[in-house]
Structure 1
């Protein structure tokens, strides 16, 4: 049998990713007619139409859907084989964009030192921080994200992960709030005020509520906002109490819990809640990519240096 033309692998990866001849042509800097001829060759090689017309758009055939991830992994491995090893990589000239999915709190606290650490070695590398409105392995699988940073959710058994640091929740109130002024924050004093909670999905109950319920207590939740940044902003301008991860405050609090430049006071919760582990996650196809391994080591180093104690 004649050896298959491995150049078709890259074209197949682009066609399956874009589900469009025109999109694949743009990605590979080819003309639409050249991409159409390549699709014809792929159809002949695989014995499957791969892309079929559905109204005004093209859709993948069932066979194309089943091979999409395998094709993407194979194309990535082929590119990785032809990249220089880390020992040979000149980071001063390396041009690459890494996409990291992380919440606003991580970017606010760790973004600046992480960018500084990366650009000190590789000034032409770009870090693209993308929002993560949900926990999903989809972006790692389709290659639109290089790293996912957060608490492990339903990410799938194949996803690789590395713990970065242990986090905990703390309470936050405005400077001058009664919970700051009038002695220790007990559970009874804690529930005497209204609370604002952060939840992307509108949920109002969590570990703090379970711990309070065990004491026969319940807090009054008067507002739900989509992010910890929003919860902190509401608390700063009201008498409401917010709940945020300690890492969200970074190392900017003094021993009394004052947050420098933010008119915010942080305090330990009056009930015990379990710690949470923040990890970095990636797809196994990037496991041995030397430059990706370099990035992961920098993320680990920066997070452990700046995470709360």
Structure 2
């Protein structure tokens, strides 16, 4: 019996994750024609089409759906076996791109410090930040990202997590704004101006709105934007009030005035999350310690337990 070509394992994992020959080719650094030939070999080896066309897209066959998670696990296990042990990790020679999924606020607040710290320890490492349109563990499970950073959402029980810091929302207006002259801002004064809010989904309602409602008040939402950078830019050039995480102003933009909210809202716990496949990978463990150290150094006025959960 002919032994299967184990080189096909990585390609199988990527094809099933991407559901696209072109997407798999980009991830593996191959041409589309080379990836098509690899898919043909996989079809011949497995006896299944794996990917079939449905309109303008490719979809997985039932067999491909059934083996997708097994292919992911086998691919990760193979990579782990072929990486150096922790005793042999040489950061000066480490060549690797780490994908970190986070919102723009985290990148603005900590991105520069993380990149500088990584470059100092491991000059050939690249940190690639990608957006997070939803709070699920799919990207971690499928190996499309190494770390997810933010508020814990719909994560599976197997996902590992560690608290980085606790944040809170604050108000921001332009310098010279009438609210910038208030030493003790009232809730009534806070809602007397229009607001620009950040919302990546349909709802613009948040904890501050619940607190205002308890006082019989409501904000006037004048604009909705997809990110905190856009909210700050609008606040800087208008009389609108922006609501952003305090960590976002670690590198405080010129021309803005920040103030504590006149209503009490709960703190936000910011965590880093990873899949257990990466738990003992020495390079990944180094990355997690790097992120933890930079976050607590930049926003480290609070103490947290050192144990990873």
- Which TM-score bucket, shorter chain as reference? 0.7 to 0.9
Q: How does 1:31-50 map to 2 (within 5 A)?
A: 32-33=36-37, 36-43=40-47, 48-50=48-50
CA distance in 2, matches of 1:243, 1:205: 12
Larger Rg: 1
Deviation at 1:42, TM superposition (A): 2.8
TM-score normalised to structure 2 length: 0.86
CA distance in 2, matches of 1:34, 1:107: 37
TM-score normalised to structure 1 length: 0.86
CA distance in 2, matches of 1:2, 1:270: 72
Q: Partner residue of 1:227?
A: 227
Q: May I ask how many residue pairs the two structures share in their alignment? A: 297
CA distance in 2, matches of 1:31, 1:189: 61
Over 3 Å counting, the alpha-carbon distance change for 1:11 and 1:266 in structure 2 is closer
Query: Which of 261, 271, 277 is residue 269 of structure 1 equivalent to?
Result: 261
Measured on the aligned residues, the alpha-carbon RMSD in Å equals: 2.6
* Contact kept in structure 2, 1:195 and 1:220, CA below 8 Å: yes
Deviation at 1:55, TM superposition (A): 6.5
* Contact kept in structure 2, 1:137 and 1:156, CA below 8 Å: yes
Deviation at 1:18, TM superposition (A): 4.7
CA distance in 1, matches of 2:261, 2:56: 57
Q: Partner residue of 1:139?
A: 139
Deviation at 1:158, TM superposition (A): 2.5
* Contact kept in structure 2, 1:196 and 1:241, CA below 8 Å: yes
Deviation at 1:50, TM superposition (A): 3.2
Question: Which 5+ residue runs of structure 1 have no aligned equivalent?
Answer: 253-258
Question: Which 5+ residue runs of structure 2 have no aligned equivalent?
Answer: 302-309
* Contact kept in structure 2, 1:172 and 1:235, CA below 8 Å: yes
Query: Which of 270, 284, 290 is residue 298 of structure 1 equivalent to?
Result: 290
Moved more, 166-175 or 184-193: 184-193
* Contact kept in structure 1, 2:165 and 2:270, CA below 8 Å: yes
Over 3 Å counting, the alpha-carbon distance change for 1:306 and 1:50 in structure 2 is same
CA distance in 1, matches of 2:207, 2:23: 46
Q: How does 1:20-169 map to 2 (within 5 A)?
A: 27=28, 32-33=36-37, 36-43=40-47, 48-52=48-52, 59-169=59-169
